[in-house]
Structure 1
Amino acid sequence: MPFHPFVTTSVHKLAPTEVELEIQVSPADFASAQDRAFRKLATRYRLPGFRPGHVPRRIFEQQVGKATIDHQALEDLVPEVYAKAVKEHRLEPVDRPHFDLDRSEADQGVRIKATVAVRPEIALADYRGIPVLGIPTVVTDEDVEHSIDSLRKKAAALEPVDDRPVQLGDHVTMDYTASVDGQPFEGGHAEQQTTEVAPGRLLDGFAEQLVGAVRGESRKVTITFATEHRNPQLAGKQALFDVMIHEIKQAVLPDLDDDFVRQISDHDSVATLRADVRRRLEAVAESRNREAVQKHVLDALLERNDFPLPDVLVNREVHNLVADAKAYMARIDRPWEEYLAAKGVDEAQLQDEYRAEAERRVKTALLLDEIAKQENIDVTTAEIERELDKLARAYDKSRDQMIDILRKSTGFGAIVDTVRQGKTLDFLVSQAEVTDVPAAAPAAEALAT
């Protein structure tokens, strides 16, 4: 027969996101819980002369101890009455509770105090019709030709140049030795290195200083490392490079014709390649525009709503951000200490630095969850399966492997939350008042709200 203890409960707010539940279990109900506990324990223990489950309670208490029964009774009873109290007072805990049990007065049963962090009360500001500016999806002929030229450059042949100096876009083979304050540094030496002479391919300002050099020439190049350089010993410092040019090659682009198109793609003509490139560029532009609208909807939502955040959620998110940074350094096979040194902080200071972003993420998640409740936005099994497949592809795993990983780590709750929040954000965007700005407007103006 199911056991339904009669309990009296009360709730006291200790802080905006923390409460204390007081739960009183009557002596009769605690005695019933002890009986249930004894019957459960009696089947587990083998005592001489008795079959499992048939030992008298008096004998059991003498040989095993009454405290064992009490412990089992509380272990079974506390979660049950706690869950009942949480439901009764419509609380939404965000962490495990801390229990304090009082049995000092046997005739009073058991008094349980549970302290727990809870979701804040959120009085949602209006979230429909948020005004935002968007950028129309415009892909010009020049955009298409620039992308096709990039494909031609990838397929270009490199031909030696002997009758002219280095120009931007050439490929040079060179030796170099570098120093800072007259001292060599790690990574500051190379021989027979071939690279494209183009801004973005080399250190800032390096390519421009190679222009005009001829084959066999030794040239000095001076650059200044960025202040945020990952090596703090180089950050903001000026470096001198002694460069020797061994060879100059120019890229000879292939003709843009149907033969070339068939070599580099599944298309059979220049026209179909252009159409496909345009379609892809339009998809990228639409995606960027949607991301910009989403960001500004969220920014407006965060600005319109103010409520306290549970410290436990913020601290958990700070921990996640640090863990992500550590995982990134591990993936690129670099020591964690190098990351901290590059930022000029220790781990405690890094946590402080991440706190503002953690608060933003927690507040965003709480708001999206609250709106999902208001709008009855739910998640289907098919949507969870699609998200699982997406995760599996991202981590190069099978779906079964991904399921096993989730079962051993965060569980499926995180996937459900991700899908629900994504659907809620899509809903907010669909309800926003998006005004397209002229395509020629600067990006900064287009994204202003």
Structure 2
Amino acid sequence: MTASWEKTEKNLGVLEVEVSVERVEAALDKAFQKVVKKANVPGFRKGKVPRSIFEARFGVESLYNDAIDILLPEAYSEAVEEAGIFPVDRPEIDIDQFGKGQTMKFKAKVTVKPEVKLGDYKGVEVPVSEVDVTDAEIAEELERLQTRYAELIVVDEEAAANGDTVSIDFDGYVGDEAFEGGKAENYALELGSGSFIPGFEEQVVGMSTGDSKDVNVTFPETYHAAELAGKEAVFKVKLHEIKRKQLPELDDEFAKDVSEFDTLDEYKTDLKTQIADRKKRENDAARENAVVEAVAAKAEVEIPEAMIEGEVENMMRDFDNRLRQQGMNLEMYTSFSGQTVEDLRTQMKSDAEKRVLNNLVLEAIAKEENISASEEDIEKELQTMADMYKRSIDEIRSILGANGSLSSLNDEITLRKTIEFLLENSKEIAASAE
């Protein structure tokens, strides 16, 4: 096989490939073995038709599409490796020649990973914040814990307020017609959560147990259900019950309930340490982001749209996985939020482009500085994973190898070492007060 690569634009080029006659014949043989199993020829059982009779009846050309499907993927992969290019999108392929007794010739129009022109990446100024824990931050953390451990107490004599959880029936109409998904009974709704259509929860505030009310709303123009977008609607609402959060007292008993400490003072001391550790991790992450974005801003690179769209797909997949961990999915989220999947993709595009840029720049710096993951680095990472999942290193290695993640692990370690290199070669300055 021969392959030649020629760039036609910055990130585009044409890969011309010629595959030997012997490999074409082998692909035709495999194609015949596949299609003969289904061929109906009088006098022969399926799968037992001789090749010569099959070709005489159906023509050798009937094997071409299957043979191309067999040969093209492996030939393209080999050509990419031979040319030393890194495709970032599906190629546009034109078959110029394919037939019995012939070589296979094809051209592939390929979008490749862009070249990065690095700016100055050493001596970048990085803001550093002091880790200081205030009494107000400790009080805020305790208040958050109080809310988490609060009990819901039924309120009979007072009107519903923001923060209350109400049990309601509702039945929605546009004009005189009920619409799908607009009806529920004994639905638990936390007022002020923003989980319903804008304007709905605000009108339930002030209702009392047993009250009925028409709640008038207008669906957002971007509502996921096109037939409701921008429409005025009325929900007939009946309130059955109001529950209000009753916060526990901040005392030694509370400390015993939420921690391993016997007194509130001991727990506050531990909280201060936890908050300090968290702020240090946040500061470290902020320093890493700052140094990467600073060097990325100095680089010149033209990012193919395909790479950005690919990163958006990754972000959407991650978002859907996080929703599923919370007992939701993408369809439910769009239903509650009034956003479409396309809205979410548009919102993510800017971050996706930034991620792609940062990764490209880090890869270029790693190459420039000969930074890579050593065997010792990989072993250390595998040991950390083995300890975390209580498995042996060999098991972890086997699992990662089976799903193709070992190379990704190598890349992650290399990027991490590159960021460490940038931080070591940066200039720390005091962060400005907000």
Q: Calculate the TM-score normalised by the size of structure 1.
A: 0.61
Q: Residues 88-237 of structure 1: matches in 2 within 5 Å?
A: 93=86, 120-133=114-127, 137-200=131-194, 204-237=198-231
What amino acid is aligned across from residue 436 of structure 1 in structure 2?
A
Amino acid in structure 2 at the alignment position of 1:174:
I
Identify the residue that residue 238 of structure 2 maps to in structure 1: 244
Separation (CA, whole Å) in 2 of partners of 1:159 and 1:309: 56
Q: CA RMSD in A?
A: 5.3
CA distance in 1, matches of 2:179, 2:391: 41
- Match of 2:163, SS state, is coil
Kept in 2, the 8 Å contact 1:136–1:437? The answer is no
- Determine if the alignment matches structure 1 residue 299 to structure 2 residue 296: no
Q: Is the partner of 1:173 in helix, strand or coil?
A: strand
Residue 280 (structure 1) aligns with: 274
SS in 2 for 1:367: helix
Identity %: 29
Instruction: Give yes or no for the alignment of 1:384 onto 2:381.
Output: yes
Is residue 2:430 matched to residue 1:435?
yes
Describe the superposition over 1:187-240 as per-residue Cα deviations: whole angstroms up to 9, x where unpaired: 432323344434446554444433332222223333444454444444444443
Judge conservation of contact 1:159–1:250 (CA < 8 Å) in 2.
yes
Kept in 1: contact 2:213–2:236 (CA 8 A): yes
Inter-partner Cα distance in structure 2 for 1:16 and 1:249: 63
Contact 1:384–1:416 (Cα < 8 Å) also in 2: no
Rounded Cα–Cα distance in structure 2 between residues aligned with 1:367 and 1:275: 43
| Conserved 8 A contact 1:171-1:196 | yes
Instruction: Report if the CA contact (8 A) 2:80-2:86 is conserved.
Output: no
* Partners of 2:393 and 2:175 in 1: CA distance: 55
For each residue in 1:294-343, what CA deviation from the matched residue of structure 2 results, as whole angstroms up to 9, or x when unmatched? Answer: 4443333333211344677567556655766777788845669x89xx76
C-alpha distance in structure 1 between counterparts of 2:153 and 2:294, whole Å: 55
Q: Are 1:372 and 2:369 counterparts?
A: no
Q: CA deviation at 1:365?
A: 1.9
Partners in 1 of 2:239 and 2:226 — Cα distance? 30
Q: Deviations over 1:353-374 (max 9, x none)?
A: 9776655443322210121233
Contact 2:366–2:418 (CA under 8 A) maintained in structure 1: yes
Task: Provide the C-alpha distance between the structure 2 equivalents of 1:181 and 1:256, rounded to a whole number of angstroms.
Answer: 51
Partner SS state of residue 421, structure 1: helix
CA contact (8 A) 1:218 1:244 kept: yes
Q: Partner residue of 2:62?
A: none
Instruction: Tell me which moved more, 207-216 or 321-330.
Output: 321-330
Q: Partners of 1:160 and 1:11 in 2: how far apart?
A: 73
- Relative to 1, partners in 2 of residues 1:407 and 1:234: Cα closer, same or farther, differing over 3 Å? farther
> For each residue in 1:363-392, what CA deviation from the matched residue of structure 2 results, as whole angstroms up to 9, or x when unmatched?
3222101212333433212343167559x8
8 Å CA contact 1:387–1:415 kept in 2: the answer is: no
Offset at residue 290 of structure 1 (A): 4.0
Q: Secondary structure at the match of 1:369?
A: helix
- In structure 1, the partner of 2:263 is 269
Residues 404/326 of structure 1: CA separation in 2 closer, same or farther (3 Å cut): farther
SS in 1 for 2:215: strand
In structure 1, how many angstroms separate the alpha carbons of the residues matched to 2:177 and 2:349?
A: 39
- Whichever residue aligns with residue 265 of structure 2, its letter is A
Q: Which amino acid aligns with 1:382?
A: E
What SS does the corresponding residue of 2:357 show, helix, strand or coil? helix
User: 1:10-35 CA distances to partner (integer Å, 9 max, x unpaired)?
Assistant: 98654445678999xxxxxxxxxxxx
Residue identity opposite 1:420 in structure 2: T
Larger Rg: 1
Q: Which residue of the partner structure matches residue 260 of structure 1?
A: 254
Q: Which runs of 5+ in 2 are unaligned?
A: 18-75, 98-106
Q: Tell me the amino acid that sits aligned with residue 414 of structure 2.
A: R
Please tell me the residue identity of whatever aligns with 1:413.
S
Deviation at 1:405, TM superposition (A): 5.0
Using the alignment, how far apart are the partners of 2:391 and 2:222 within structure 1?
Answer: 36
Say which SS state the counterpart of residue 300 (structure 1) adopts: helix
Taking structure 1 as reference, are residues 423 and 164 closer, same or farther at Cα in structure 2, changes over 3 Å only? same
Find the residue that maps to 1:122 and give its secondary structure: coil
Q: Residues 286 and 93 (structure 1 numbering): CA distance in 2 closer, same or farther, change over 3 Å?
A: same
The answer to whether the Cα contact below 8 Å between 2:378 and 2:410 also exists between their aligned partners in 1 is no
CA distance in 2: counterparts of 1:313 and 1:195, whole angstroms: 41
Aligned mates of 1:228, 1:255 — CA distance in 2: 44
Distance 1:115 1:139, change over 3 A: same
Question: For the structure 1 residues 437 and 229, does the alpha-carbon distance in structure 2 shift closer, same or farther, using more than 3 Å as the test?
Answer: farther
* 1:11-90 to 2 correspondences below 5 Å: 13-17=7-11
Give the 3-state SS of the residue equivalent to 2:160 in structure 1. coil
Cα distance in 1 for residues equivalent to 2:345 and 2:161 = 47
2:4–2:16 Cα contact (<8 Å) kept: yes
Residue 124 of structure 1 aligns to a residue in which SS?
coil
Given residue 216 of structure 2, which amino acid in structure 1 is its aligned partner?
Answer: T
Distance 1:280 1:297, change over 3 A: same
Question: Partners of 2:284 and 2:297 in 1: how far apart?
Answer: 20
Partner Cα distance (1:193, 1:436) in 2: 48
CA distance in 2: counterparts of 1:166 and 1:325, whole angstroms: 34
> Do the aligned residues in 1 keep the contact of 2:382 with 2:396 (CA within 8 Å)?
no
Return closer, same or farther for 1:194/1:421 CA change in 2, 3 Å cut-off: same
Structure 1, gaps ≥5 residues long: 1-6, 24-77, 103-112, 442-449
Superposed displacement of residue 292, structure 1: 4.0
Q: Distance in 2 between matches of 1:153 and 1:353?
A: 31
CA contact (8 A) 1:199 1:205 kept: no
Q: Relative to structure 1, is the Cα distance of residues 206 and 435 closer, same or farther in structure 2, using a 3 angstrom cutoff?
A: farther
Indicate conservation of the 8 Å contact 1:176/1:190, yes or no.
yes
CA displacement, residues 402-446 of structure 1 (integer Å, 9 cap, x when unaligned): 6555434434111111222123224334525443122xx2xxxxx
